[in-house]
């Protein structure tokens, strides 16, 4: 609480300074372009034309795109469709092409581009003034060109850039016409007329703020710029109202672009909705920041909150796997990657306005495209000069929360194995009930998957491209994740209001030993009366070919519960060491909370003290070894029940079910070993190196695990549960043997 | 029958000539190496060292491999395991390294390689004379080093090359020791002692023949060479006996290498077991042929049966998709491709001994490796000189049967769409009951899949890496294929004896019009009393973005039957135009013949005259439009029932079930259109261009289809059922409109 107050004070002071800085400015004598492109910048670009391959290629690509559209002619249809439908896609293409055509006009000085932009803007001027609300009613904030204000805002963010580029090409009369009939009403509709969309801390609002701010900067309209930075004056929303996704509209009354930087980003640059939505919000954050930097350099927007915008790009790039695909935390669609155009913006801006990190140049090279502005030119020149170095991703712990005190996300990396461990906040309306869950990757392939979202973004046939009901009934539920579900009920009872109040807590994170990357966190609120502490380590032991994952989930409860603990393995079952019954008909595992979507393909009991399970995925063998009790049920599940429209994938899991347990501990190792090639048909190293794991001590203060390899080499891992600080000295005796060490854990 | 007799006469004459040629030869004064490497060849190679990158790279790669093994030391363990187990894999690695070390000795003239080969051979000499049969008993022909004679033969094919390379390095005494205690008994075990393996026409025997022949050539042993070429003298097997796979051991009494060329290859070079097994047999075919070419050039082995060995390589390469992966006909494991080392042999030999096809050089470039012999040097020089051209795969019709009169396999290619249509013989013991079945590809990705086999080749945990029982209960059954299953019973009642007697018949094949690639065939024996005629065309129509598949399956039956017609689509369901019930528990579709492996995920009735179904796979949209009757049942199935060990993939299908039908016709179009990228999140052209298809005439002589696009463009396809010759003139009136044309079909 003390920290929060201090922070509020800081913010008030900062806002005061901003207001002082802004007040005396004379906005009337602007030159154009000045928003993203600048007069000086354009001159520099023109001089380099034909000399910088990456820039020239990007220019040619865009030129081709725009030429095709010019040849097709202008179409601004009466709005009608959801995303995926014709009118939606047409208007979307239009704004993208308008922005590009504007840039081409500036760089190539060919009037045909300016004319194209002008003509299309006049079409929009004629259209917009006739438009009622968009006919589709599903959105909590309907747009006019599109079914939601969000997409209208996208339009304005792009189109304000186009307008800036041809500003001087237009007569004053033309400008007045556009500003009066199109831009100002447009900005008002997405802000004043739609406060439930605009007046919040949310990625939607960031788009709205940027849209209003950018057109405000071009039109030199201080009122719009202020509305962008600080929200609509005097508007306060009901703090209990919710949006389409079930998120609070505006719980704390904050609004505006600066609040949207302040709140969702942690000091490490982690965005509370996760990388998929950060990627989506990245463009308006950065493009408006670039515009503010150009038009209002005195704002020092890139230094705001200790430079969090640029830090967030680094965080985002680190939230991607070896192929550059973002980890699908929360409602993330798999396959989204740093090849998305928003990341071209992010990489170029981060390079140019940041510390010229040569690692970014290697990503830009992979992207094969740069922005057609100062930042893109700088990147292209860097690549041309061979300044690029590999962008090396190491283990990283990213705090969550405005002050970095609300849990976080840790990514452990050891050789080619990557673990993503989530102990963060609810993650806004896009969050899942997945406390202490994880996913595991090898070279960009999933070993243990996070399901992601249940949605086919922009595929009209699938619910208009919007969230499907299975997103709520399955994807958000705890059982859809690699963590504990207690008594077949999701964390926080699956209630957003409750989940939003809490976050997990970091116990410790330590990446100093290159052989052992480790993180530990606890969760005390997901199930009242139950405390979970999970420790995950990627350990490279010389006796085992690749780093393995050691996973210790320790549960303390005040009553007996049932714990379900699934492993969403990716691949085909190779071998098990337990017997199970296979039903001839498949029935669902449960009635609610996601269980209704799981079929039972097999059911057995752990037969020995270790349960073993191996699979083949992406040409590699994986083995899971679990220290189980003989009473543990083992359930093989298959997703897809109660899914008449085939919205869910038919993915498999192995689940341990432990009934009537109070305190309990789940310990397992997942090992990647060997591989199989269908070309050589040779299977190498197809069996696990782990013979046995056992819990030799589990007290309040210490948990000790004995690991025996198939070559009978024995290792001990001991965890200091209650005093995990780096400096703490520990000494204990287990089975007549003394162990002493300094720090959070012992491994030898 | 007449043809068969003529052919037998021809063969007898040919064999006579071969015997005459061989008789006067003096085999005693051989120089070494002379088997694969030759003295002249080696000298040429040495001169080019360091000058031909592809050759040098291949040499360096092999050098590194061999150095590692030399450093590890020699291990020739007592045989114990099935494939995948240590002793199996060790002996396998040994023979591969022996061959390579021998070659290195010849090329680099470094004695350490010769010594390594000699030492290991002496280990084997000491071991082999002590060995009983391999302890694993599953094979119909047990080896000594390996569990089956097949693998022992692999060993000898490679080791005879190594022996040839160090022949002159050894003393006569050493050679005598090896020949007396190792090679001769080894050759005898796999031939005289194992006639059920050796004395047949089968890929196993080809390995055996080559093994015996190659060691015979090195040892200059005419008796062994004769045994290789013509089989074991005086041995005749029971023509009704069967092998492990259920195939006849030796139905027609033929045996030996020449019979193994004569029988399974059609004149077009199609190998009756399909590409997966052809690839496996390719190495012994070609390496023994190369050896015969070198030692007995007078045999003109590459001209045998009108040069069928080289033709077969062209056929094999054409039986691969855009990624070079072989179509998984019969028991083919998916993923096998022309990157397999046997295909390096095939490509190099085909280039060198064939017509120096520059297309082969481009494949060699992709393979990145060449043989270390004359042929590999020629290829590497060709690549160095930039002689390579793309290997363009076009539509091709490959006849089956020794005389090319027993059906075949047609591959239609139109732009990026590939159709594989099978109307061949049973395909030996590895054949499936899949008359008139097909699979469909786009750029190497499956649109409609052929399941392939149920086996994890060489993965020990999965049934020792051998055929799984699901191969018989599922993969071979008709319902596992994209063709008609009548009354829930497989073709030929799933009986190999019956299936082996018959083959489908080509109606016509026409690839002359680049816009319309078409094939038609019929099957009269799969279900007595029922005749099926299937016509498949890949049509590129200017009104539709990509070539579409038109599929006409016409059935004439003498009684009422139930017809099941599945589509094994690959991807996730996007949209259907029919209602269906989704069960909450999944039950099996049937009790036998593969139906016991299918769950019913949905069941409905065709609601209109066209049934539509679309899916998204590999980032592309696909739509199926079927002319259905309102009585047709539509069943959505999921594989995986009665599969307790998870040996089957959980793949989906849409099945039309038509009950109580005598004559019937199934007409459908499959169209690929547009795509989806998770990076841009944009869905393009996500809906079919086909509005409707209908059968406007279906008589004995003609079948006419009307195709209407979504833009209301109408096309007619008319098929001449009874007189499909290219010259035939046709004229008919349908719905008061006259149609006239010359040839097999009309499309306009």
Asked if residue B545 is part of any domain, the answer here is yes
Asked if residue B683 is part of any domain, the answer here is yes
Which domain CATH number covers B691? 2.70.98.70
Contact B588 A586 (CB under 8 A): no
CA distances in angstroms from B700 to B158, B557, B721, listed in the order given: 57, 13, 7
Counting beta carbons within 10 angstroms of the beta carbon of residue A202, is it exposed (0 to 12), middle (13 to 18) or buried (19 or more)?
buried
Contact A341 B680 (CB under 8 A): yes
pLDDT of residue A110: 97
Q: Which of residues 77-136 of B touch A (CB under 8 A)?
A: 84, 89
Contact A679 B339 (CB under 8 A): yes
Tell me the mean pLDDT in the region B435-439: 98
What is the Cα B29 distance to its own chain's centre?
41
Q: B430, B432, B491, B730: which is the annotated catalytic residue?
A: B430
Contact B454, B470 (CB under 8 A): yes
Which of B89, B151, B585, B604 to probe the A interface (max A CBs under 10 A)? Answer: B585
Greatest Cα-to-Cα distance within chain A, rounded to the nearest angstrom: 92
Contacts of B280 in chain A (CB under 8 A): none
Report which of A8, A479, A500, A525 is spatially closest to residue A273, judged by C-alpha positions.
A500
Confidence check: pLDDT of A253 > 90 = no
Contact B36, B161 (CB under 8 A): yes
pLDDT of residue A4: 46
Task: Read off the pLDDT of residues B687-717 as tens digits, 9 standing for 90 and up.
Answer: 999 999 999 999 999 999 999 999 999 999 9
Tell me the mean pLDDT in the region A402-411: 97
Shortest CA gap A333–chain B (Å): 7
Contacts of A572 in chain B (CB under 8 A): 646, 649
- A33-42, A483-492, B28-37: the lowest-pLDDT one: B28-37
Asked if residue B586 is part of any domain, the answer here is no
DSSP letters spanning B674-742: EEEETTTTEEES-S-SEEEEEEEEE-SSEEEEEEEETT--EEEEEEESS---TT-EEEEEETTEEEEEE
Q: Distance between CA atoms of B385 and B393, rounded to whole angstroms?
A: 23
Cβ neighbors of A310 (< 8 A, separation 6 or more) are A269, A302, A349, A350, A353, A354
What is the Cα B559 distance to its own chain's centre?
36
Q: Which of residues 547-576 of B touch A (CB under 8 A)?
A: 572-575
> Is the backbone of residue A351 left (phi > 0), alpha (psi -120 to 50) or beta?
alpha
Confidence check: pLDDT of B189 > 90 = yes
For B682, name the nearest residue in chain A, comparing CA atoms only.
A458
Asked if residue A119 is part of any domain, the answer here is no
Task: Please tell me the total number of residues recorded for chain A in this structure.
Answer: 748
Question: What percent of chain A is modeled with pLDDT above 70?
Answer: 95
Confidence check: pLDDT of A6 > 70 = no
Q: Distance between CA atoms of B336 and B322, rounded to whole angstroms?
A: 13
Q: Distance between CA atoms of A55 and A34, rounded to whole angstroms?
A: 20
Question: Is the minimum CB–CB distance between A603 and chain B shorter than 8 Å?
Answer: no
Mean pLDDT over each residue of chain B, to the nearest integer: 94
Which of A574, A649, A653, A687 to probe the B interface (max B CBs under 10 A)? Answer: A574
Question: Is the minimum CB–CB distance between A638 and chain B shorter than 8 Å?
Answer: yes
Task: Read off the pLDDT of residues A208-238 as tens digits, 9 standing for 90 and up.
Answer: 999 999 999 999 999 999 999 999 998 887 7
Contacts of A680 in chain B (CB under 8 A): 340-341
Active site residue B277: yes
Tell me the mean pLDDT in the region B4-21: 51
Pairing of strands B445-448, B437-442: antiparallel
Question: Is the minimum CB–CB distance between B340 and chain A shorter than 8 Å?
Answer: yes
Question: Is the minimum CB–CB distance between A341 and chain B shorter than 8 Å?
Answer: yes
- Confidence label for A85 from pLDDT (cuts 50, 70 and 90): confident
pLDDT of residue A425: 97
Question: Is the minimum CB–CB distance between B341 and chain A shorter than 8 Å?
Answer: yes
pLDDT of residue B85: 87
pLDDT of residue B28: 41
- A7-21, A651-665, B379-393: the lowest-pLDDT one: A7-21
Mean pLDDT over each residue of chain A, to the nearest integer: 94
Task: Read off the pLDDT of residues B439-458 as tens digits, 9 standing for 90 and up.
Answer: 999 999 999 999 999 999 99
Contact A683 B336 (CB under 8 A): no
What is the Cα B252 distance to its own chain's centre?
23
Residue B599 sits at φ, ψ, to 5 deg, of -90, 150
Contact B682 A602 (CB under 8 A): no
In B494-619, beta strands by DSSP E = 505-513, 516-523, 530-539, 548-557, 561-567, 572-576, 580-581, 598-605, 610-617
Contacts of A458 in chain B (CB under 8 A): 676, 681-683
Handedness of CA B215, B221, B224, B225 (dihedral sign): positive
In A256-312, beta strands by DSSP E = none
Q: Distance between CA atoms of B152 and B208, rounded to whole angstroms?
A: 8
Cis peptide bond N-terminal to A33, omega within 30: yes
What is the Cα A584 distance to its own chain's centre?
41
The number of domains in chain B is 1
Active site residue B433: no
Task: Read off the pLDDT of residues B226-238 as tens digits, 9 standing for 90 and up.
Answer: 999 999 998 887 7
Tokens standing for residue B380: 């590497």
Asked if residue A256 is part of any domain, the answer here is no
Question: Is the minimum CB–CB distance between A14 and chain B shorter than 8 Å?
Answer: no
Task: Read off the pLDDT of residues A335-352 as tens digits, 9 standing for 90 and up.
Answer: 999 999 999 999 999 999
Contacts of A461 in chain B (CB under 8 A): 574-575, 614, 686-687
Tokens standing for residue B588: 């099996």
**Domain encompassing residue A457:** 396-563+660-747
Shortest CA gap A591–chain B (Å): 11
Shortest CA gap B579–chain A (Å): 10
Task: Read off the pLDDT of residues A534-584 as tens digits, 9 standing for 90 and up.
Answer: 999 999 999 999 999 999 999 999 999 999 999 999 999 999 999 999 999
Contact A461 B573 (CB under 8 A): no
Tokens standing for residue A45: 């670009």
pLDDT of residue B242: 75
For B335, name the nearest residue in chain A, comparing CA atoms only.
A678
Task: Read off the pLDDT of residues B383-419 as tens digits, 9 standing for 90 and up.
Answer: 999 999 999 999 999 999 999 999 999 999 999 999 9
Shortest CA gap A602–chain B (Å): 8
ipTM of the complex as predicted: 0.90
Shortest CA gap B460–chain A (Å): 8
Q: A82, A124, A169, A277: which is the annotated catalytic residue?
A: A277
3-state secondary structure of A677: strand
Handedness of CA B310, B315, B319, B322 (dihedral sign): positive
Residue A264 sits at φ, ψ, to 5 deg, of -75, -20
Asked if residue A303 is part of any domain, the answer here is no
Contacts of B676 in chain A (CB under 8 A): 456, 458-459
Asked if residue B419 is part of any domain, the answer here is yes
Question: Is the minimum CB–CB distance between B586 and chain A shorter than 8 Å?
Answer: yes
Cβ neighbors of A581 (< 8 A, separation 6 or more) are A602, A603, A604
Contact B585 A585 (CB under 8 A): yes
- The single-letter DSSP state of residue A538 is E
Which of B678, B680, B685, B688 to probe the A interface (max A CBs under 10 A)? Answer: B678
Task: Please tell me the total number of residues recorded for chain B in this structure.
Answer: 748
Confidence check: pLDDT of A136 > 50 = yes
For B458, the closest of A334, A574, A682 (CB atoms) is A682
Contact A199, A234 (CB under 8 A): no
Half-sphere exposure of A740 (CA within 13 A, CB side): 3
Confidence check: pLDDT of A197 > 70 = yes
Report which of B509, B540, B538, B512 is spatially closest to residue B522, judged by C-alpha positions.
B509
> Is the backbone of residue B329 left (phi > 0), alpha (psi -120 to 50) or beta?
beta
Asked if residue A468 is part of any domain, the answer here is yes
Task: Read off the pLDDT of residues B609-664 as tens digits, 9 standing for 90 and up.
Answer: 899 999 999 999 999 999 999 899 999 999 999 999 999 999 999 999 999 999 99
């Amino acid at each position: 609480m003390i920290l929060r107050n201090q922070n509020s004070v800081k913010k008030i002071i900062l806002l005061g300074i901003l207001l002082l800085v802004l007040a005396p400015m004379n906005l009337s004598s602007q030159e154009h372009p000045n928003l993203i492109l600048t007069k000086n910048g354009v001159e520099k670009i023109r001089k380099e034309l034909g000399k910088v391959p990456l820039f020239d290629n990007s220019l040619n690509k865009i030129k081709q795109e725009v030429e095709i559209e010019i040849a097709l002619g202008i179409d601004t249809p009466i709005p009608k469709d959801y995303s995926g439908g014709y009118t939606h896609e047409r208007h979307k293409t239009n704004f993208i092409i308008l922005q590009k055509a504007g840039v081409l006009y500036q760089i190539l000085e060919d009037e045909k581009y300016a004319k194209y932009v002008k003509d299309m803007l006049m079409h929009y001027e004629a259209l917009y003034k006739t438009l009622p609300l968009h006919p589709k009613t599903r959105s909590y904030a309907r747009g006019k060109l599109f079914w939601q204000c969000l997409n209208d805002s996208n339009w304005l963010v792009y189109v304000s850039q186009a307008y800036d580029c041809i500003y001087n090409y237009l007569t004053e009369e033309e400008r007045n016409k556009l500003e009066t009939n199109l831009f100002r009403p447009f900005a008002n509709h997405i802000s004043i007329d739609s406060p439930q969309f605009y007046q919040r801390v949310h990625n939607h609002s960031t788009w709205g703020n940027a849209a209003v701010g950018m057109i405000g900067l071009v039109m030199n309209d201080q009122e719009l710029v202020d509305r962008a930075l600080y929200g609509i004056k005097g508007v306060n929303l009901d703090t209990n109202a919710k949006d389409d996704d079930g998120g609070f509209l505006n719980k704390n009354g904050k609004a505006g672009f600066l609040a949207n930087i302040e709140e969702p980003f942690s000091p490490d640059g982690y965005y509370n909705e996760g990388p998929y939505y950060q990627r989506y919000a990245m463009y308006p954050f950065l493009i408006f920041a670039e515009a503010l930097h150009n038009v209002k350099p005195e704002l020092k927007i890139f230094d705001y909150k200790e430079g969090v915008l640029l830090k967030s790009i680094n965080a985002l790039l680190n939230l991607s796997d070896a192929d550059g695909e973002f980890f699908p935390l929360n409602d993330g669609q798999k396959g989204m990657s740093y090849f998305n155009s928003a990341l071209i913006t992010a990489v170029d801006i981060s390079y140019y306005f940041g510390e010229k990190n040569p690692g970014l140049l290697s990503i830009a090279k992979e992207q094969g495209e740069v922005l057609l502005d100062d930042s893109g030119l700088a990147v292209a020149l860097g690549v041309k000069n061979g300044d690029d170095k590999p962008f090396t991703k190491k283990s990283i712990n990213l705090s969550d929360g405005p002050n970095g005190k609300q849990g976080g996300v840790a990514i452990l990396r050891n050789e080619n194995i990557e673990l993503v461990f989530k102990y963060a906040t609810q993650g806004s309306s896009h969050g899942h009930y997945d406390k202490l869950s994880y996913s595991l990757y090898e070279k960009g392939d999933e070993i243990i998957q996070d399901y992601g979202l249940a949605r086919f973004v922009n595929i009209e046939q699938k619910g208009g491209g919007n969230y499907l009901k299975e997103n709520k009934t399955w994807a958000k539920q705890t059982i859809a994740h690699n963590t504990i579900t207690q008594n077949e009920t999701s964390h926080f009872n699956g209630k957003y209001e409750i989940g939003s109040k809490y976050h997990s807590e970091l116990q410790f994170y330590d990446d100093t030993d290159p052989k052992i990357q480790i993180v530990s966190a606890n969760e005390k609120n997901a199930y009242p009366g139950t405390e979970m502490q999970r420790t995950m380590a990627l350990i490279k032991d010389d006796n085992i070919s690749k780093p393995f994952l050691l996973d210790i989930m320790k549960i303390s409860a005040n009553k007996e519960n049932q714990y379900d603990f699934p492993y969403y393995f990716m691949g085909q079952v190779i071998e098990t060491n337990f017997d199970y019954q296979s039903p001839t008909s498949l029935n669902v595992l449960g009635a609610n909370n996601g269980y209704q979507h799981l079929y039972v393909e097999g059911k057995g009991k752990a037969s020995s003290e270790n349960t073993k399970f191996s699979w083949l995925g992406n040409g590699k063998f994986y083995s899971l070894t679990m220290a189980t009790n003989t009473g543990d049920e083992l359930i093989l599940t298959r997703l897809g029940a109660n899914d008449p429209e085939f919205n869910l994938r038919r993915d498999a899991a192995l689940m341990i079910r432990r009934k009537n347990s109070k305190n309990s501990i789940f310990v397992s190792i997942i090992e990647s070993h060997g591989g199989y090639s269908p070309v050589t048909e040779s299977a190498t190293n197809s069996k696990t190196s782990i013979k046995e794991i056992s819990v030799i001590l589990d007290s309040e203060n210490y948990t000790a695990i004995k690991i025996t390899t198939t070559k009978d080499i024995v290792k001990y891992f001991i965890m200091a549960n209650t005093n995990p600080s780096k400096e703490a000295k520990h000494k204990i005796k287990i089975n007549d043997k003394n162990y002493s060490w300094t720090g959070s854990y012992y491994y030898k």
